[in-house]
Amino acid sequence: MQCEQAQPLIGALVDDVLAGQERRTLLAHLRDCARCAALEAGIRADAPKLAALGRVAPPEGMHARIGARLAQADTDEDFAWGDPVQPVVPVPRNRQPPGWLGLAAMLVLVCGLSSGATWFVVAHQARDAQVVHDVLAAHVRSLLQDAPIQVASSDAHTVKPWLVGRVDFAPEVHDLSAEGFPLLGGRLDFVDGRRVAVMVYKRRLHTINVFAWLTEGAGNSAPRLIVRNGYSLVTWTEAGVTHAAISDLNSDELLVLQKLL
Amino acid sequence: MGVPMDTRAQFAELTTPHLAAAYNLAFWITRSRADAEDVVQDAYLRAWRGFGGFRGGPMLPWLLAIVRNAAYRWMSTHRHAGNVVSLDTLFLGDDGTPDPAMQIAADAPTAEAAMIAASENAHVMRALASLPPVLREILVLREIEGMSYHEIALTTGSPAGTVMSRLSRARLALRRALSGTTEKDSLHAV
């Protein structure tokens, strides 16, 4: 066996995947050829050197950024799905066709009306959609992080004062262990451009984030259930505070929690 | 637009433990920490979209195959734009030794330069970085991730015979790079 034939086989020998005649011929060559034997020793020594490099550590926060991007991608798809459809304007048949000027005027009118209608619908929905989007993203992010809780306590009298010092209102915090929703703690998050209080509850293995923020001037509103990306989201407003409870829990049990709060 | 709730949780549960492996592979293909994060983000997005097509089995080769494709896609689009400064143009001269002129030209050392210089295994990292990407990746999969030939074949989408011959070439190339860069090292080997 020549060196040129032997050298490409050394890797296979080192990995112990070389068998039979090829293996015997290579071993014989390595006994005779000091250069190839040195190469084999070198290759054997390189493996642990590479292993010793270990993995290059990911930058801090990459995990959370990926979670946020996944959540964002999902909601983006949702929004595209729900885009308002342009109305189809029927052209009257039996009438005399309008002149060129009339047609142009009608086109302008139709464009104006439909874009106006679209703007109205979008403007109305945009704010709600932004809140849903932010709450969903914050929830998913909290699940991806190691520590979704900044103040960990099952005692409402520990969690509430901590939150009161950090947001502009006093959120409702209850320990609902007896009802099967133990309080895990609280944290701050950022939704719709403002700092919000988050109370974290647990139901069996499901984490529930209850977001709360002040909405001045808004009347009370009944709970509204939204299901998005498999997460149930219940929003309601009471005494000037808007709440959004979100979890992968089934929506019935989430509504039970809403009633308890 | 219902993504079943347990699908999302299942995806997170299956893919999160492999983030470090994904990032490491992306880093060694792109040789840039910033690009590696972009690649991993892109790959996880694609993995999530394609999760419906995942039919069980080992997650790591499935995921790393997506990371690998994302990394090569990234390289082919960004190389053309001239945005990528390769490590060996930064650190190695033509003879494979660190080029002082290049280091002076780059007055602020990049994160990669600092990281490699700080590493005890700087010469091994430089040698690995100097290999062509297909040889780098196969050494990373084999020696750092400890994958079997079969798992490597699944990840790279190539037959077992190709894995064996490519790994062999990669080891010879690394040996050459290592004995070329450090005198001490080659003395050890002999």
Q: What is the C-alpha separation between A129 and A139, in angstroms, rounded?
A: 15
Interface of A with B in 139-168 (CB under 8 A): 143-144
| Closest by CA position to B157, among listed B39, B42, B69, B51 | B69
How many C-beta atoms lie closer than 10 Å to residue B113's C-beta?
Answer: 16
CB contact under 8 A, A56 and B23: yes
Which pLDDT score, from 0 to 100, does residue A93 have?
Answer: 46
Report which of residues B114 and A10 the model is more confident about. A10
Arithmetic mean of pLDDT, A150-161: 84
% chain B with pLDDT above 90: 42
* Record: contact A53-B144, CB cut-off 8 A: yes
Confidence at A131, pLDDT banded by 50, 70, 90 = confident
User: What pLDDT shows up at residue A164?
Assistant: 84
Residues of chain A contacting residue B1, judged by C-beta atoms under 8 Å apart: 74, 77-78, 81, 228-229
Q: What is the rounded CA–CA span in Å between residue A39 and residue A44?
A: 9
Q: How many residues does chain B have?
A: 190
State the complex-level ipTM. Answer: 0.76
Nearest Cα residue to A239 out of A258, A212, A210: A212
Which residue in the set A55, A59, A66 is minimally distant from B144, CB to CB?
A: A55
Q: What percent of chain B has pLDDT over 70?
A: 69
Among partner residues A7, A62, A70, which is closest to B37 by beta-carbon distance? A62
What 3-state class would DSSP assign to A19?
Answer: coil
Closest by alpha carbon to B43, among B13, B74, B12? B74
Question: Which residues in A lie closer than 8 A to residue B23 (C-beta atoms)?
Answer: 55-58, 62
**pLDDT tens per residue, range B87-108:** 444 444 344 444 444 443 343 4
What is the DSSP code (8-state) at residue B106? S
CA atoms within 13 A on the CB side of A55: 16
Report the C-alpha gap between B67 and B54 in whole angstroms. 15
Give the model's pLDDT for residue A87. 35
The pLDDT value recorded for residue B179 is 86
Q: Please, are residues B33 and B27 in contact by the beta-carbon 8 Å criterion?
A: yes
In order, the DSSP letters of B51-72 are GGG--SS-HHHHHHHHHHHHHH
* Structure confidence by residue, pLDDT tens digits, A22-51: 899 999 999 999 999 999 999 999 999 999
What the block records as the tokens of A58 is 């990911």
CA distance A243 to A196: 10
* Distance in Å, alpha carbon of B185 to nearest chain A alpha carbon: 9
B171 versus A124: which is more confidently predicted? B171
Q: Which two structure tokens, joined as six digits, stand for A169?
A: 């209102």
Arithmetic mean of pLDDT, A63-90? 58
Among B131, B175, B179, B185, the residue to mutate for chain A (most A Cβ within 10 A): B175
Element at A197 (helix H, strand E): strand A194-203
Q: How far apart are CA B168 and CA A47, in angstroms?
A: 12
- A96 or B131, higher pLDDT: B131
* CA gap A103, A81 in Å, rounded: 32
Q: Which residue has the higher pLDDT, A153 or B46?
A: B46
DSSP conformational letter for A90: P
Contact A229, A74 (CB under 8 A): yes
Task: Name the burial class of residue A186, with classes exposed (0-12), middle (13-18) and buried (19+) by CB atoms within 10 angstroms of its CB.
Answer: buried
CA B33 from chain centre, in angstroms, equals: 11
pLDDT in tens, B115-130: 666 666 788 998 999 9
pLDDT digits (tens, 9 = 90+) for B161-172: 899 999 999 999
Q: Is pLDDT of B20 > 90?
A: yes
pLDDT tens, residue by residue, B30-44:
988 888 999 999 999
Neighbour count for residue A52 (Cβ, 10 Å): 12
Asked whether the beta carbons of B7 and A233 are under 8 A apart, the reply is no
- Indicate whether this model's pTM tops 0.90: no
- A210-223 residue pLDDT tens: 999 988 777 788 88
Structure tokens at A90: 């029927």
For residue A14, what are the CA distances in angstroms to A18, A25, A155, B59?
A: 8, 15, 60, 27
